Chain A
């Protein structure tokens, strides 16, 4: 059976669901009104629900924004909503703590915070307070202090056998996702597919040339919610196991296009500082639990944060279709505003980051706020120097300053072959000034963006000097 979603232990039929309908409104239509729509674009977290995901022989809960999840994609999946967290009259420890600390005022964001805290409560390997656990939930009433205190005072992850029914559920694991095709979900003209293999995916894409490909949905469903996009055919990559590979080889790190950014964040820990800096600044954990590099690159947003970081790492993309696979440099993948070299029927299969990784790499983001914001300007810099302190390779990548994420090749060339000094940076800035032409919008003026393009390189230089990383 794949035409049901299990919610708080009970099956809910997905029969007749429009493939464009979000999980949030599906739940609310079924009387589960605890999850709220606060923004409909994954910024506020009031709609959070906890998805059961396969993890390490068992399962884990991951909080996601149900406003950005398609109900149809939940076929065969299991989730917990705020209504399912208390046991009878007994509140869950995170609920009880929120009551006692004064963590709710108007209460409208509270279900989302409860779900985020709930998922954090069971997070494998949780070790102390992590602000990211609630960084994707907005509260307009409290100023967050009591909620943060709840997150801070959380008891250790419960062990199985301590009588916690959720811990007991997690050891039972989660079912792998089975194939979904029209008929098992949805009705009428609109069709939803969730293939299990790449071969099946390519076959569907061959038969459905107008299909919209969706993975985590954190961008596509924003189109549905905010710009009233309605897709007749949707193909979810969520069930394709081959897109979730992780291959840490001698010559490259290959990350499957469908690996959630939260998983990437956990796995690159201690391995790749530039990505470690990027990921906490990349939206919020509620988003990263669904978002993928594949989606972030394929939608080709000029302000996506993934691309500058991967450009600075010299990454390549592995593209696949019924005709086979090809590998292309990411620099060159973006051909224009929201356009890429992807051919019809072709998807991103993986991102390949060549080794050795750069000696020094940093990611910077300028935005109106530190957490969970869209960049005004994003920059990623990676350089290598030889024993004499000469720059042997430099990659300077930016988001938010052109129609696509870009590399500043001319400025890179001006840095190579000389020591990384303030005057070399000044020369590179002079080149940047001539070659980059950002625009003004509500996030920032052209003048500010121009200034930031240079200032971030200066900041990079200053920080490398201070840390004594380079001569």
Chain B
């Protein structure tokens, strides 16, 4: 089948975010902006444990209840249903008997305002028996503290081929976690509605699951709970399951008091209470030929799951699936295991384990190159997947040729050869500063690896006046999903954009929706919206055909006008058709549905086709490193990325640039520090450092791969949310290249992850042989 570039007037056009005007005027509302609309709303504040591991012996709320403005202290006694918010496993008591991470909320105080709730929380006395915490992956391995059994993917006989290979290396890499730092912290607002049902506003990526957890703690059916996610001020995976507990507290409070209840974590509490990107530890052995071609690899991955399982298992699977990045591993064994520790429960974060797996693979590629004194770029190229090859879990690498195509194109557009020479001449002339230049590829599998999540619904409504509402199960967190859905719906019905209203995501419009995650929001919901629009269009074509006494197939719907294809001047407005449809008793609502075809993975066998397709990209980064301090600056970044036929180029470019910046932060300035007692020492913006304008590339050249239509995906597009995050690996390798230049062609450059100035400084010292 040939895929044609979609030529609708809206799909494929670079348009601003649908809420951009509301963003810039301050009119865009977020969950916590709604509080003033609910008279008598109570404010919740947690009583937080001062230990990372302790038994709760008693809670004395008497003084708190006497404090001014305090209305209630919520404890396990206030839970009519189940005292557990665990999504993957029932392992998350909302009101714990044993505290399992520092800061865990033991109970919640409700008061007339936030100040009074804080004072009340400080007046609650909790007695504890302290227990020993487990902090860090190594300590958990030593203590045999695990959430999962080992997960295994194996192809061939890696141990044998590594033993027989001309060269082999082994090593390990600790990979740091990452705080989501969505600008909008976790927020919920719940009330009992005029019909006695429970309504909860939640800043959640997964309203259906938030609804389910709220129903669970209340001990009621889901049809008595509605969850709405109006929009989120960023999420990045951090609100995929971890929005649920706060919504649960809000609905419990509303049920206990009969009043609206607001739960909002401030930044400090958001850091202390919510999980982060998983820290990983990778241990590897690799065998390779004289030219750097990998013959076999044996990798053990451990991730720090924190106190509960959460999404740690699929995160580990994705890390294991992506241990190949873009490289063919003829023989491979990958073992993954999630450790259990006394920290926050680590969770989904853009890339979902993929980045941690891929950063280990790039570490290995660089080691091979330096060991053989070859160029890292050539060694990478030599190991690229070729058309017809399969991943280590057995899935054919569709469009593997795009890796090479993107690579060569970027090599030319980034002026690689000339800049390589410039960098080398700069480095030869300076001892105090060195520059580094690196190129790395990205291949990323698209689909939820949990197959049943790969479905979506939509509800499109046309009123008799011709105005349209689009509901779908996806949530808007800034990624531009609603913008793309508007484009799909407008073209689907032949309307201008402003004739279509995109509705807030609610569980009473589209039930059982999957989380908006795995980069799949547009693929899934777009197909569902299109399905609904196609059904409506078909009905309206018949109605319009009767107006013009023509065949339905002759009718054109374009920008709010309807006409037979050969009589554009006779066009009638869309409303004439919808009004007639109503009078003729034609249904003007349609439920759309989509499920991703042909995906299945057998976890026991470690084989299958977990992904619908792969996204590809590559990036070239250039940095300059100061040899005195290890501080650095980014000089230029070039990216070529495959988004298929872009549905919305302004949105897609924004996703690529933003993902790169977020990846750059993860790999450089964003460092999470827990002390030996399990206390997070970096719990605010002053201690945990996101990239600012100054850290992001000033010279930032981003292009979308042309002629890249993806068969079988909405309008030939591809997912874009996560894959470009891993383009930032080029930054890490550029830093390593600069560090290497301080030494004399070192056979190995060890660089900690994240590569903070301190880490870079010690790496420089190591290659300088500890001079100074």
Contact residues of A with B, CB < 8 Å?
Answer: 18, 28-29, 31-41, 43-44, 46, 81-83, 85-86, 91, 95-96, 98-100, 102-111, 114, 131, 134-135, 137-148, 222, 226, 228, 364, 366-374, 376, 441-445, 448, 451-452, 454-456, 458-459, 462
Contacts and interface: CB of A to CB of B under 8 A. Distances in A.
Nearest to A136: B692
Given A33-B36, A37-B266, A135-B693, A366 B757 contact: yes
Given A38-B183, A106-B232, A448 B758 contact: yes
A91 B20 CA distance: 11
Interface stretch (B169-177, B315-323, B525-533, B651-659): B651-659
A376 B756 CA distance: 12
Contact of A141 (B654, B682, B702, B758): B654
User: In the complex, which of the residues B26, B235, B756 has the most CB atoms of chain A within 10 Å of its own CB atom?
Assistant: B26
The A contact surface, by secondary structure, is loop
Contacts of A148: 693, 698
Contact of A366 (B233, B629, B682, B691): B629
Q: Which 9 residue pairs of A and B lie closest in terms of their CB atoms, listed nearest first?
A: A34-B26, A106-B478, A108-B233, A107-B23, A143-B661, A371-B694, A43-B685, A82-B26, A105-B478
Contacts of B756: 368
B22 interface: yes
A104 B23 contact: yes
B696 A144 contact: yes
Contact of A110 (B24, B122, B631, B660): B24
Contact of B17 (A104, A114, A452): A104
Given A33-B36, A143-B700, A91 B21 contact: yes
Interface string B9-49: 00000001101111111111110010010000000000000
Interface in B684-729: 684-687, 689-698, 700, 702
B685 A145 contact: no
A202 B496 CA distance: 67
Contacts, number: 248
Contact of B629 (A28, A95, A456): A456
27 contacts: A33-B33, A33-B36, A34-B26, A37-B266, A38-B184, A41-B267, A82-B26, A83-B26, A86-B25, A91-B21, A96-B24, A98-B20, A102-B650, A102-B653, A104-B478, A105-B479, A105-B480, A107-B20, A107-B233, A108-B233, A108-B234, A138-B183, A141-B654, A142-B657, A143-B696, A368-B756, A370-B694
B669 interface: yes
Contacts of A458: 628, 772
B24 A43 contact: no
A142 B20 CA distance: 13
Contacts of B653: 102
B551 interface: no
Interface of B: 16-17, 19-30, 33, 36, 115, 118, 122, 180-185, 231-236, 266-268, 432, 477-480, 626, 628-629, 631, 633, 650-651, 653-654, 657-662, 669, 671, 673, 681-682, 684-687, 689-698, 700, 702, 756-758, 761-762, 765, 772
A117 to B, nearest CB: 10
Chain B interface helix/strand/loop/mixed: loop
B628 A462 contact: yes
Contacts of B185: 37-38
Contacts of A98: 20, 23-24
Contacts of B654: 102, 105, 141-142, 146
Given A33-B33, A369-B691, A452 B629 contact: yes
Nearest to A451: B761
Name, among B29, B685, B700, the residue most crowded by chain A CB atoms within 10 Å (CB to CB). B685
Contacts of B23: 98-99, 104, 107, 110-111
A9 to B, nearest CB: 15
B696 A108 contact: no
Given A140-B234, A226-B268, 7 more contacts: A41-B685, A99-B16, A106-B233, A107-B233, A143-B660, A369-B669, A455-B628
B693 A141 contact: no
Contacts of B689: 367-369, 373
Nearest to B181: A140
Nearest to B650: A102
A448 B234 contact: no
Nearest to B33: A33
Given A107-B233, A144-B693, A368 B757 contact: yes
Contacts of A459: 432, 626, 628-629
